[in-house]
Amino acid sequence: MNEQIASIQSSALELIAAANDARSLDDARVSVLGKKGTLTLAGALIKDIPNEEKSAFGQSLNAARTAITSALEEKQNALQAIADAAALSGIDLTLPARSLQTGGLHPLTLIRDEAIQILRRMGFALADGPEIEDEYHCFDALNTPADHPARNEKDTFYFNSGKLLRTHTSSVQIRTMESATPPIRIIAPGSAYRRDEIDATHLSVFNQLEGLFVDTDVTLPDLKGTLEYFFREMFGTTTEVRFRPHFFPFTEPSFEIDVKLQIKGQAPRWIEVAGCGMVDPAVFESINATRKDNALDPEKITGFAFGMGLDRLAMIRWGIKDIRLLIENDTRFLTQFA
Amino acid sequence: MNISLNWLSKHLDLSGKSISESSDLFTFAGVEVEGIITKGIASDKIVVAQIMEAVQHPDADKLKVTQVDAGEGQLRQIVCGAKNYKVGDKVPCCLPGAQLPAGFTIGETKMRGVESKGMLAAAEEIGLPKGEDGLLILPEDSPIGVPVKTLFDSDTLLELEVTPNRPDLLSHAGMARELATLLKTPLINGNAGASPASSIPAATDFIKLEATAACPFYAATRIDNITVSESPDWLKQRLTSIGLRPINNIVDITNYVLHETGQPLHAFDAAKVTGALVIRQAKDGESFKALDESVHILTSDDLLISDESGAALALAGVMGGLDSGVTESTSSIILESAYFSPSGIRRTSRRTALSSDSSYRYERGVDPQGVLPAAALAISLLESRSPNDCITQAAGQIPPAPSPVALDLTKLHHLLGNSISTEAAEEILTRLGLTKQAEGKWVIPSFRQDLTRHIDLAEEITRVHGLANVPSRFRATLVPTSDVDAAYDADMILRRRLAALGLYECQTIKLISESQLSDILPLRALQDGDLIRVKSPLSEDHAIMRPSIVPGLVTSAERNARQQAKSIRLFEMGRVFRNAGGGKAIDQESDSLAILVTGNSQPSSWAAKDRAADLYDAKATLSALIPNQTISLKPKDRENFTLGAEIKAGDQTIGVFARLSLKRERDLDFISPVFVAELDLGKLRKLISNKSQVEDLPQFPGSTRDAAMELSLTTPNADIEAVLEKAKEPLLISYECFDLFTDPSGQKIAADRKSIAYRFYYRDSARTLKANEVDAAHQNILKLLKTINGLEYR
């Protein structure tokens, strides 16, 4: 009997070895271990074996089953390994990707958002005003004399209605103070217009960011601290910031702000980035006259204002040499900010 | 304004200050330095040295080791490679620290192991014209140790931008006065002896002042027996140093006095004046020919210097007349020195577009007390005149000095964060020429007409004190979110979504041209007069406020297509402008979003064939932008476009969609369709602010059934959707179109028919549906769809 089992085992192992796919391996399993498989049938013979030989027969039967089962398992693993390898063969990691559309925000949006994020951390809320303005909000209320050069038709776009395109976002200061009461803490990003021929450094329509803080205890240290913080957040915490005395009709004292920056391949130098100053009491007086109250009493209320050119900040930040790149929308330029 | 440092040095000791120190001085006075032009030798550290010894360098054939006397008490060892000198010669010696025009600074170094403490220089190395090869050999009598720059004409020209509130700085003397204050150094009196006579006779015979409002004070000096000739060298040099061209002694003196004192002067040829000078308003329509030969028609607001014949001799304070000026044959002049009202000059200059160094100063306001001294200085420069040749008369009143101004110390210390003492603050005002009166009031000098209020004094103190000396205070405030904040945040969400959907954000100019109007796609079509045009555009390209962003995107797409961009997907957000009442109502500004899609649907790759983006690609972008809404297009024709449609979010119209007309696409050389959309940003912001409660997830499974339909090619899909919406079948949860087939050849399906397949989802929220229930609902749907004309099931 043992010879018979040995023969079943060896032919089973041959079948398993010959199997070359999952299908033929399963056929081999069924032909040996299935209901009518050779080993199963041989096992059924145990009932005819004399009792004293039953134990030895059982043992050899089990040994054969174990050997065949493990051969099956081994072969199955080997076949799976071959199939797995085949599934991955020919895949070329170095072939280029399929294509997906990419998109991105305009650099001006990026710089504007960065500036807004910094100022919001300090508690400035956004404000807004019309771009088609009247002389009152653009000039008169901002303490700009009637014959001031900026009011020239050579420098400012006027309409037949007598209105004009605001020459700065400072008009939003007036719009805000006409209705709000202190504390007023606002920033206003927006377009401004000047009759400049478009060239590498000028646009007739450009982008500014205005800021205003009006309250009972606003001082030069507040102006200085706020703007130092802003520009250090913008250009790095160790950035040097300086305030040069300057003149604007609607602030006094007034300053221009420079930051010391190192542009690639150049020595560090002072670069003008903004104008600022303490709100001129004449501005408060003129708004009080419009409001017909004394909500902005210049004896009690002080404030500071600042304004900066966002196009210019973008040019500084990314080393953009020609401002026209910001309005031409060449995707070869825009993809660099995606 | 141009300032010569040499000229300035006549008033102020600037020695020992480097150019950059001087430049900083101006900067912190509030004067912007726009340019620095150095002529000749700049550095003080290049001095005359005598070569006392020269021996061969031990390790270099071409070098000598020299000992030079630079006037320092001991000899200085310098290694030198030049050959053209002999011991005893005097040469320029650049001491350590000397900055050379080439951009480097001399230091102490070792050359081939031998110490060298400076450099002996050739002419071109120190900023002089190139001379013979080798060292510049200086004259034998050159004093040892003095800066070489003193032996040559050298100067630094500063181009300065003076703010409009500081006319007192528009001269060398004025600038020197300011710097002396900042430096706390005394002024050198450069023009001693030029003080005016103590009493000027009132005008009797040669001035008739009629317009006292526009001209409060007018002085004139008649000078006879003059000879018009070339100016002396020193005068010519002064003028050329600030970039002016010398003309003749009379013109040059007036120019010199203007740049020295800030007071403009004007010289008339006395022979061309009939009777007295008459200072009067022009007559409306009166003509004036300026010395630049331009002709101007004046108004009664303009001030003229005329004479008793009525001739217009000069446009007061702005420009002389062509016919009244000094020529080579002039033998008598009338020299004007006046105070004109600044606003009058400003208006005339603006109206006539004429400006001059004189009008620049008059319109900002000259020092009333400087009018007569300037005339006296000019006369003193006209070489020894006999007193009889010179008669000065004056008319009007010198404007009074500004009223004293009170300084509020409480406010001052608050403003400056208590960073300055009262004494230091008052000392600054005193140095600036103000005098303290009783009761805290300050007397203002005549040249500072800009100081009229407390805040003006506070500004002066702040400026001189410097913001660097003021502490910084950091504080934040709690502020509620404004509507503008909410709109901004929504816009940023939309922008980021659009970028993620593969669109690039653009920024275009808000002024557009007439020719771009065919591309406008405003939410509501415009009526006549709705366009807002600027009165005097810079060019026809930027003449109209954009009523729509689409034209800007079309131009941007065109530019990108020219640059061979294959797939162009752009958007822009921003203001659009229109007058809603055909020009009669107020101008309206609103925020809009525009989208443009053209070119390939995807960038090219090996994995897929290129395909031009079609209507459905464009529509997909709109749908993905607001995924919580059903976006549909409702056909509505738009002029100049094809495939015009309203964009609907549910029932709400949120924008306009269209394809450029095929002719427009051809005209602009687009090779694939150009789809554009303009959306109402106000409505989009509301749609994306999703505040609704979440829906529970379904608890029970649903079933699907498909339907393949054949119908006329021209039956719109909207007809199917209309039936499905109208059906109100309670079990129908959703449906989708999953296949569309047409065959223009007519082989697989008639050419005028299309096959369309839908999948329907049925579900009950409360239980699992049985198959026959689903079938019943589906049959109901199929029955309703069958009512569509020509629909057959396949």
Structure pTM? 0.84
Residue B729's nearest CA partner among B764, B677, B698, B685 is B764
A158 vs B536: CB contact, 8 Å cut-off?
A: yes
CB proximity list for B282: less than 8 A, separation 6 or greater: B288, B298, B299, B300, B301, B302, B303, B304, B312
Cβ atoms of B122 and B83 within 8 Å: the answer is no
- pLDDT band with cut points at 50, 70 and 90 for residue B582: low
CA–CA distance, A225 with A233 (Å, rounded to integer): 12
Tell whether A7 lies on the interface with B, counting CB pairs under 8 A.
no
Query: Which of A143, A147, A148, A230 to mutate: most B Cβ within 10 Å?
Result: A147
CB proximity list for B682: less than 8 A, separation 6 or greater: B590, B591
Q: Could you say which of B343, B507, B535 has the minimum Cβ distance to residue A327? A: B507
Segment of A247-261, B4-18, B341-355, B574-588 carrying the highest mean pLDDT: A247-261
Our CA-based measurement puts residue A12 at a distance from the nearest CA of chain B, in whole angstroms, of 48
- pLDDT band with cut points at 50, 70 and 90 for residue B791: very high
What is the interface pTM, i.e. ipTM, of the complex? 0.89
- pLDDT band with cut points at 50, 70 and 90 for residue B203: low
* Closest residue of chain A to B415, computed from CA coordinates: A219
Confidence at residue B193, expressed as pLDDT on a 0 to 100 scale: 43
Q: Which residues of B touch A187 (CB under 8 A)?
A: none
Confidence at residue B192, expressed as pLDDT on a 0 to 100 scale: 44
A101 vs B476: CB contact, 8 Å cut-off?
A: no
> What residue ranges of chain A have pLDDT lower than 50?
none
Q: Which residue would you say has higher pLDDT here, B439 or B705?
A: B705
Confidence at residue B101, expressed as pLDDT on a 0 to 100 scale: 76
Our CA-based measurement puts residue A330 at a distance from the nearest CA of chain B, in whole angstroms, of 6
pLDDT of B783 over the 50 cut? yes
Confidence at residue B97, expressed as pLDDT on a 0 to 100 scale: 87
Q: Which residues of A touch B164 (CB under 8 A)?
A: 149, 247
Other Cβ atoms within 10 Å of B275 Cβ, number: 11
Tell whether A267 lies on the interface with B, counting CB pairs under 8 A.
no
Confidence at residue B18, expressed as pLDDT on a 0 to 100 scale: 79
Confidence at residue A189, expressed as pLDDT on a 0 to 100 scale: 98
Q: Which residues of A touch B449 (CB under 8 A)?
A: none
Segment of A89-93, B384-388, B706-710 carrying the highest mean pLDDT: B706-710
- pLDDT band with cut points at 50, 70 and 90 for residue B265: very high
Confidence at residue B164, expressed as pLDDT on a 0 to 100 scale: 87
Q: Could you say which of B32, B165, B587 has the minimum Cβ distance to residue A132? A: B587
Q: How many residues does chain B have?
A: 794
Helix (H) or strand (E) holding B436: strand B435-436
CA–CA distance, B150 with B422 (Å, rounded to integer): 43
Q: Which residue would you say has higher pLDDT here, B499 or B26?
A: B499
Confidence at residue B580, expressed as pLDDT on a 0 to 100 scale: 81
* Closest residue of chain B to A217, computed from CA coordinates: B414
Beta bridge partners of B79: B65
Cβ atoms of B141 and B227 within 8 Å: the answer is no
Confidence at residue B244, expressed as pLDDT on a 0 to 100 scale: 86
CA–CA distance, B704 with B724 (Å, rounded to integer): 15
On average, the pLDDT of chain B sits at: 90
Output the six-digit token pair for B378: 């000019």
Query: Which of B25, B346, B484 to mutate: most A Cβ within 10 Å?
Result: B484
B507 vs A331: CB contact, 8 Å cut-off?
A: no
Q: Could you say which of A132, A149, A221 has the minimum Cβ distance to residue B417? A: A221
Q: Which residues of B touch A217 (CB under 8 A)?
A: 414
Q: Which residues of B touch A252 (CB under 8 A)?
A: 455-456, 458-459
B476 vs A122: CB contact, 8 Å cut-off?
A: yes
B470 vs A221: CB contact, 8 Å cut-off?
A: yes
What is the edge-to-edge ordering of all strands in the sheet holding B207-209? B207-209, B277-281, B303-307, B312-315, B319-320
A125 vs B502: CB contact, 8 Å cut-off?
A: no
A-to-B residue pairs, Cβ atoms closer than 8 angstroms:
236
* Closest residue of chain A to B24, computed from CA coordinates: A244
Q: Could you say which of B482, B542, B604 has the minimum Cβ distance to residue A126? A: B482
Cβ atoms of B727 and B780 within 8 Å: the answer is yes
pLDDT of B314 over the 90 cut? yes
Q: Which residue would you say has higher pLDDT here, B477 or B413?
A: B413
Confidence at residue A265, expressed as pLDDT on a 0 to 100 scale: 72
B463 vs A245: CB contact, 8 Å cut-off?
A: yes
Q: Which residue would you say has higher pLDDT here, B409 or A59?
A: B409
Confidence at residue B106, expressed as pLDDT on a 0 to 100 scale: 87
- pLDDT band with cut points at 50, 70 and 90 for residue B563: very high
At A324, which amino acid appears?
R
Per-residue model confidence as pLDDT tens digits over A226-243: 999 999 999 999 999 999
pLDDT of B153 over the 80 cut? no
Other Cβ atoms within 10 Å of B38 Cβ, number: 15
Q: Return the biggest CA–CA distance within chain B.
A: 129
A159 vs B350: CB contact, 8 Å cut-off?
A: no
CA–CA distance, B304 with B295 (Å, rounded to integer): 14
Confidence at residue B705, expressed as pLDDT on a 0 to 100 scale: 96
pLDDT of B293 over the 70 cut? yes
pLDDT of B115 over the 80 cut? yes
B462 vs A245: CB contact, 8 Å cut-off?
A: yes
For the segment B736-748, the average pLDDT, to the nearest whole number, is 93
Phi, psi of B290 (to 5 degrees): -80, 165
CA–CA distance, B319 with B264 (Å, rounded to integer): 11
Pairing of strands A125-126, A184-193: parallel
Tell whether A130 lies on the interface with B, counting CB pairs under 8 A.
yes
Per-residue model confidence as pLDDT tens digits over B335-373: 999 999 998 999 899 889 899 999 999 999 999 999 999
- Describe the crossing of helices B371-381 and B249-261 by its angle, rounded to 10 degrees: 140
Q: What percent of chain B has pLDDT over 70?
A: 97
A143 Rama sector, left if φ>0, alpha if ψ -120 to 50, beta otherwise: left
